Structure formats: structure tokens, C-alpha cells
Structure 1
Amino acid sequence: MRIVVFGVFALLALGVLVAGNWYLWRRLFRDTTRGPGPARRAGAVVIAGGWVLAVGAVAGERAGAPFWLQQVMAWPGFLWLALSIYLLLAVVAGEVVRPLLRRLLERRARASAAVPQTQPVPAGSVPPQPPEPESAPTPEPEPSRRLFVSRVVAGAAAAAAVGTVGYGTYGVLRGPSVKRVTVPLAKLPRAAHGYRIAVVSDIHLGPTLGRGFAQKVVDTINSTRPDIVAVVGDLVDGSVKNLGPAAAPLSQLKAPSYFVTGNHEYFSGAKQWVEEVRRLGLHPLENARTELPWFDLAGVNDIAGESEGQGPDFTKALGDRDTARACVLLAHQPVQIHDAVRHGVDLQLSGHTHGGQLWPGNFIAAAANPTVAGLERYGDTQLYVSRGAGAWGPPTRVGAPSDITVIELASTQA
């Protein structure tokens, strides 16, 4: 039964994808040319080739293709993925503009046809007879006007999409900004007032974001001078063999640093990455807890680990703790908040959502997560969700800027 449902869903998804790309080709290439020719064929090649590279980039990453091949496919393939989203949105928005522009051109043509064409009359000559109605200027032919409108709308859509993706990619590559959030905790002692935790999630080192990006993230974290660093999952998209050098700057983190797995670690060899981050000086919290001077810091594995028998175990991480002490939990996915509430956690720090990454992806993320980004309260437990420092797939963000968050704990006893 599951296979049948999956097959039906796959066919529907393929149908939507094919229809969407045919619509793009029609509006961007067929409607902007006078007939069959090289421009239409080139448009079909660009659209089909972009999707071949995009699918190849995702499949190559999952299948462990040679890393150089992943890099060759990733940049054009993933950027096409982002570009196609905004081309489609822009072309759909253009459907509103299209009839308005055509009406405007029709009115201008009628107004031009109605203006009498008079010539100055020399003195003593016979005044010219008024022209016959048939001699009035002929309005611009409808096909020509339709072609002009199509070209204007297509050009504007392409410019808007390229500009959006270009700016969103620049925003990722320049590195995450620093966001500061104060979180009051009732159980936190007065001596810990102002304690700072640098939260970084979803760095996604891989074929597009490498060692240089990791160095920017580390430098930004160190510049905030936190008391501890919390790396809450999805550090990498690839094996230690391919991405070990890219992750090496993590050894430069100056504050004590803690790590929990995200779902992408389980696509990349979670066991090997746990050992690698430990070698780099981070402290993995695999369903474990450490007692810091003023509060407990716990971490649970990601839900994706259940397929390998390494899923989250809240009882192991939190079951025997002193509930009079404040507790901060590192858990990659926001949906883990419900277990955190049941175990009396004061604050959960998460990532995973990317804040939606590519608008309107935030609406999809909101349907799958209790909190997409920011700080919210669930009973006596607070949840903070970071938008993440990097990006998965397209190295692009639109409407969801990347960040490293400095959580400043505040004691209500201060």
C-alpha cells in the first residue's frame, strides 16, 4: 500500500513539475518569439539542463559521488533550483500585469488613430479635402502588440528572479549576522545573570559552502565572546573524507563548544562526524547531560537517528537530573519541544527550519514545525529556533537571513 501511495504521489509531483516548466518555457521563450527557431530550442535546453544538474546534485550528494563531480553540479544545479522558483513566481505575477499593459497599448493606438493628420495650407491654394475614413492610420496589429507585451513581461520576470537569487546568494556567502536575544529563566541563579550562549545551526558545509565559509562562521562566533557555543545540528552535507578539511576551522572556537546531531549528519555518517567534532575539540552530547556551574546543559540526538537505532532518548539525557536546577536542552528539530516540556526543560535551542530559507518556504516550514524562527513559550518551557548560518541546496536565502544567535540568559532573581 505504501508503495502505491508513494507511486501516486511521485507521479503527481512529476506532473506538476513538468507542467510548471512547460509554462515557464511557454511564457519566457515561445510567447516572446515569432515562430519555431533556435531561441525556443535554446530555452528548452536551458530549462531541461538546469533540472538535470539540480537532480544530479541532490542524487550525487546522497549517493556519495566523487566530490569534484558534486561541486561541478552543485553550483549551477542548485542555483537553477532557486532561480526556477522565482522565475515561476514572477511569471505568475506577470499574468496580472499582462492584460493591463495590453489595454494601455490598445488605448494609445486608438488615441493615435483618432488624431487628425493636418498639414499647413499655403496662401492662395485650395484647402485639402478631409481624408476618407479608409485613409486613417491603421492601428498596430494585434499579434505585434501581444509579442511586445510578452517580451516586456518576460524580461521583467527574468530580471526580478535573477536579482532576487543574486542578492539572496550574496547574503549567504558574506556570512551570517549576529542576533542577540535575552531569555529569562526562573531557576537561573543570580550569579549566572548575563551568561551568553552562542547558538549556531545548519551550517551545511558541502559542495557549495566550504572551509572559507566555516572560517567566517567561527570568526563571527569568536567575535561575540560567548561563555559557551552550542552547535545544534546539520553541520555538514557529506562525509568526513570529503569535508573534514572544510570543518577544520571549528578547532579555533575559543569558548567551550557542544554539539548535537541533525538529520543531515545521518545522511553523512553520523558516527564518523561525532568522532571528528570531538577531535576538533567540541563536546558531543549524544543523549547526554553535563552539569555546568549554574545550570544543566543536555543534548539529544536527532529524530533521523531512529533509523540507525540512535534516536533521541530524553530519559537518558534528563531522567535523573536535579529538577531544582535550570536546564538548557540542545535538540536539532523544533518538534522535539513536546518531549522537552514533559521532562521539565527550561529552554530548548533548535535549528532545522532555516526560517523557510526561500520565501514562501516559510509557510511550508510553519506547517511542519511548531516554531519556524525566534523565541516562543510552550507551558513552562521556552523554545528558541535559529534560522541557521548556512543553507541547504541553493546557497541562497530570501526572506530568511542567516544568523548566529547569542542567547543571554537572565535570572529573574537578579
Structure 2
Amino acid sequence: MVFALVALVVLALLGAVHRYVWRRFVGDTTAPGSTLRRVGTVAAFVLPLLSLGAMTSGRVGAPFWLQQVLAWPGFLWLACLLYLTLALLVGEVVRPLLLRFLARRDARTETAENGTADGAASGTASGAPSGTTSGTPAAPASGALAGTPGEPRTRTGELVASRTAAAPSPSDPAVRAAPDPAAAAAAEPAAKADAEPATETDPESMAKADTEPAVKAGTEPAESPSAEAPAVPAPALAPGPSRRLFVSRVVGGVAAAAGLATVGYGTYGVLRGPSVQRITVPLAKLPRAAHGFRIAVVSDIHIGPILGRAHTRRIVDTINATSPDLVAVVGDLVDGSVADLGSAAEPLAALRARHGSYFVTGNHEYFSGAEQWVDHVRELGLVPLENARVEIEGFDLAGVNDIAGETEGQGPDFVRALGDRDRGRAAVLMAHQPVVIHDAVEHGVDLQLSGHTHGGQLWPGNMLAELANPTVAGLERYGDTQLFVSRGAGAWGPPVRVGAPSDITVVELASRQA
């Protein structure tokens, strides 16, 4: 019942996050019915299904080839979803600021354009000829146009110049006055006659041009300087929907670039293989003869559908290059059955250390058949420590099963592993999960070697890991016991690490007597 409730909550959360991501990347940036919107909508349904398939295919016993097909796109999308969502949340802060900036910029641009237009209109009015100033008629009365007897006719050239000069000023009484319909009708034949050029330049046509009324209003010559229209500036970014679309595309594009680049870099870090870290741990009970003893600690290799044989080979080569005295494999070696991954684990047989290689189970071994894996690693030359202890040169090396084994009656047994030992000797404990540190303190362990946390693997996952583990990565002291937690050499789920690079750590024991 509890598991079903948790599953429903997780599914609801995934659905809400996918809806948000679709809205910001697709809904806000594409047109309804467009190809991009259709593709984005299909992806919003397919990608989460691939992720669910990648997470559940191994648990339900799907064929290994199907697990491999689903693993890469399904798990990678989970990492992309995380960092795309984080980038979009940052964009929610930037979005209103950018909208406000653009609105203010457009307002300033509009104000400047209005000022330029007003100045141009004022300059045109002030540059008009003196004969057409306000209050002085720029053209003869309608009677003159109609040829009223007793009044002199106006030449065509004079009428055209007068009307052209008066046109730019809307406040001119001559412009505001409506023309007399009768006069306009009488002037129309003369205007048509002027509009059609004469075929011959005879004296009669020239006299007619001098004595006929010129043209109607609005037929000024194109070469008149005052008739030129001012240049129209390019419009600024349109307000409203266009501005919001622009901002959505900018924020979405930057968020996509940041999120995908983060995932790409994190994937490269995992596929490149773990780096080697070195740390010196002084132990009060360690004899002088064991001073400088080097233990290569590797955890969370996670051989599986994504990280296979080549991954195992890189880790083995990296460990052997350190020339350790002892190799400690502290759990979560695999994510799958021996039948599927036995060959991918075979390079472990090439591990080389003067005092051998040792193994304890992690929680993922109990998802994959712990007994079969214990037998298989023994065949590969590793020594499983199932709640057991061995005496090494100068100290005791003990190992306990993982807590997950309690469901199968194979949980950690500290009494069996440490109960009857000589407490005058230094003790080093291999235990997958750091949470058993308090049992280690109670049983007088000097140093506990653990993994499990992956150092958080995907930032800000380290914050969640800190809630469930006493130490997420590195060396810390609890009473007389020191705890070292490795970030691990592989990755679970997405083959991506951000803020927690994979590592193999060479722990050098130091004697205070030396």
C-alpha cells in the first residue's frame, strides 16, 4: 500500500514537471498546429515512457537487449529533465526582468520617434513661402476658379505653387475650407485638359494653358520639395504577444543550451572513467611495520545495461596503475544478473594487489541475485567478506553484508565479523552504506570504508544524500572511528555526474608510531 502510494506521488510529480517543461519549451514558443509543436508534444509523451521503461525493465525481468535499448534514452532523459527544469526555474526570474527592459526600451524608442515626427512637421510649416502663411488665402476663391466675370484669372503655375506650399499645414484656413462643389465641377474639364499633354506645341495650346484654370487640389507636381513624405523609421519590437514570444524563445533557448551542455559534460565524465584520489589516514593502533600500507578503495561500479565490459576494464587498469597493497570493492558492483552481466565483470580477474582483492555486497546486489554474484566474484579471484574478517599485515580487515540483505536474512552481523577479535589491533571495516558507522564505533573499528552515496552524483542530489547519510563523501571522524566515503567509480541510472566526479581512492594507512 505504501509503495503504491509513493509510486503514484512520483508519477504525479513527473507528470507535472513534464507539463511545465512542455509549456515553456513548446507551448510558449511554437504556433498551434505547427510541425515543431507536434514534434514537441509527441516527445513530451514518449520520453517519460522511455524513462519509466528504463527504470522498471530490469526489475520485471525484461530481456537484456530491451534493457539496453531503453537505458540510454530513458536514463539520459531523466538527467536532461532535471537540468532543463532547473534552468527554466532560473529563467522564471529572468523573464519578467527582460520583459520590463524591452517595454521600457520600446517606450523610449516610441517617444523619440514622436519627437522626431513633431520636429519634422514644425520645420515644414515654418519653411513654407510667405504668401501661404496662416490667415492668408493660398488660392483664389471658388468664383475665380469658376471664371467669375469681373475678376482676373489665376495662372496655372501660380495656382500650383500656392496649393503646394499650403498643403503641409493642417491649420491653414485655406486647407480646412471645403471646396465649392459647383466650382469644382466647373474646374474639372480644365484640370483634365492640363493632365493630358498636347501633341503639338502650337500657340493656341500655349495660350489655352496660360488662360485655363490649372488643376484640382491634390494634383501637385511630384518634384515639389514640400510634397516629399518624411522617411518612416523601422518599427521597434511590437508590444504584447510578440514581445512575450521573443522573451519565451530567448529564455527557452538559453535554458535548453545550459541544461543539455551540463548533461553532456556530466556524461563525458562518466564515460571517461574515474580519476585517482589519494588520502592518508593515521591509525593509532597501526604498527610501524604497516606504515604506508595502501588500500585502493572502489565502490559503486554499477556494471549494467549502459556501463559494461569496457567500463570494468577502465577501472581495473586504473587500479592496477596505482600498485596497491590491497583492493577493497565496497558494494554495488552490478545492476543485473550474472547471466546478463557475468562476462562484463570478467576483467575484475585482472586485478593485481600484493594482499589480494576483497568484496562486500551493496544494496544493488540484492536486486540482482546476491548469492550468484558472491559465487561469481569468488571465481574471478576476489575474496567475499560476508560478515567475516581476515588478518592482514598489521591490522584486521573485516566486511559486513549490506543492510538490504536483511530482507533475505543476510543482513550485516557485526558480532560475527568483529566480536571475538583482539581490540589491541587496528581494524579496518568494509561496509557499503555509511549509516552503519554507529555500529562500527560500538565495535571499536578504527576505519570504515564505504560508498553508496555517489557523492550525490547529480547536483543538487548531494543535499538529499546528506539527509540520509552521516557523510556523503570524504573522511570524517566519529569518536575514535574514522569514516571514509568514496564517491564511486560508476553511476546509477543516468550515466551522468555533475558536481560529484567519479573516483578511485588510494587510502594510505599511517602509523603514529612511525
Please indicate, yes or no, whether the TM-score normalized by the shorter chain is above 0.5: yes
Residue-by-residue CA offset, 1:329-348 (whole Å, 9 max, x unaligned): 00000001111111000000
Letter in 1 for 2:50: L
Offset of residue 306 of structure 1: 0.8
Offset of residue 54 of structure 1: 1.1
Question: 1:201–1:389: 8 Å Cα contact kept in structure 2?
Answer: yes
Identify the match of residue 396 of structure 2 among 292, 296, 309: 296
Offset of residue 6 of structure 1: 4.1
Identify the match of residue 90 of structure 1 among 78, 87, 90: 87
Question: 1:110–1:139: 8 Å Cα contact kept in structure 2?
Answer: no
1:334 aligns with 2:334: no
Letter in 2 for 1:236: V
Identify the match of residue 492 of structure 2 among 371, 380, 392: 392
- 1:183-198 to structure 2, matched below 5 A, reads 183-198=281-296
- Corresponding residue for residue 218 of structure 2: none
Offset of residue 139 of structure 1: 6.2
Question: 1:57–1:73: 8 Å Cα contact kept in structure 2?
Answer: yes
Offset of residue 7 of structure 1: 4.1
Identity %: 68
Identify the match of residue 150 of structure 1 among 237, 240, 248: 248
CA distance in 1, matches of 2:504, 2:73: 27
- Corresponding residue for residue 16 of structure 2: 19
Say if 1:393 and 1:131 are closer, same or farther in 2 by CA, change over 3 A.
Answer: farther
Letter in 1 for 2:7: A
User: What is the TM-score when the length of structure 1 is the normalising length?
Assistant: 0.94
Say if 1:34 and 1:323 are closer, same or farther in 2 by CA, change over 3 A.
Answer: same
- Corresponding residue for residue 73 of structure 1: 70
Question: 1:348–1:382: 8 Å Cα contact kept in structure 2?
Answer: yes
- 1:90-109 to structure 2, matched below 5 A, reads 90-109=87-106
Say if 1:285 and 1:6 are closer, same or farther in 2 by CA, change over 3 A.
Answer: closer
1:210 aligns with 2:303: no
- 1:5-404 to structure 2, matched below 5 A, reads 5-115=2-112, 116-117=116-117, 126=128, 140-255=238-353, 256-404=356-504
RMSD: 2.1
Residue-by-residue CA offset, 1:56-84 (whole Å, 9 max, x unaligned): 11111112211111110000000001000
CA distance in 1, matches of 2:506, 2:169: 81
Offset of residue 119 of structure 1: 6.7
Offset of residue 245 of structure 1: 1.1
Residue-by-residue CA offset, 1:339-396 (whole Å, 9 max, x unaligned): 1111000000000000110011101111011110000011110000000000000000
* Secondary structure, aligned partner of 1:161: helix
Which stretches in structure 1 are left out of the alignment for 5+ residues?
A: none
Offset of residue 103 of structure 1: 1.2
Question: 1:113–1:139: 8 Å Cα contact kept in structure 2?
Answer: no
Offset of residue 43 of structure 1: 1.5
Letter in 1 for 2:416: K
CA distance in 1, matches of 2:21, 2:298: 38
Letter in 2 for 1:214: T
CA distance in 2, matches of 1:186, 1:397: 36
* Secondary structure, aligned partner of 1:345: coil
CA distance in 2, matches of 1:280, 1:412: 36
CA distance in 1, matches of 2:446, 2:289: 18
Which stretches in structure 2 are left out of the alignment for 5+ residues?
A: 130-166, 172-231
Letter in 1 for 2:504: I
CA distance in 1, matches of 2:65, 2:239: 54
* Secondary structure, aligned partner of 1:245: coil
Question: 1:232–1:262: 8 Å Cα contact kept in structure 2?
Answer: yes
Letter in 2 for 1:398: V
Question: 2:109–2:236: 8 Å Cα contact kept in structure 1?
Answer: no
Letter in 2 for 1:197: I
Say if 1:401 and 1:130 are closer, same or farther in 2 by CA, change over 3 A.
Answer: farther
Larger radius of gyration: 2
Question: 1:237–1:264: 8 Å Cα contact kept in structure 2?
Answer: yes
Say if 1:244 and 1:11 are closer, same or farther in 2 by CA, change over 3 A.
Answer: closer
User: What is the TM-score when the length of structure 2 is the normalising length?
Assistant: 0.76
CA distance in 2, matches of 1:411, 1:170: 39
Question: 1:165–1:396: 8 Å Cα contact kept in structure 2?
Answer: yes
Higher relative CO (Cα under 8 Å, sequence separation at least 6) belongs to 1
Letter in 2 for 1:317: A
* Secondary structure, aligned partner of 2:437: helix
Residue-by-residue CA offset, 1:231-281 (whole Å, 9 max, x unaligned): 000000011111111111101111110000000001111111111111111
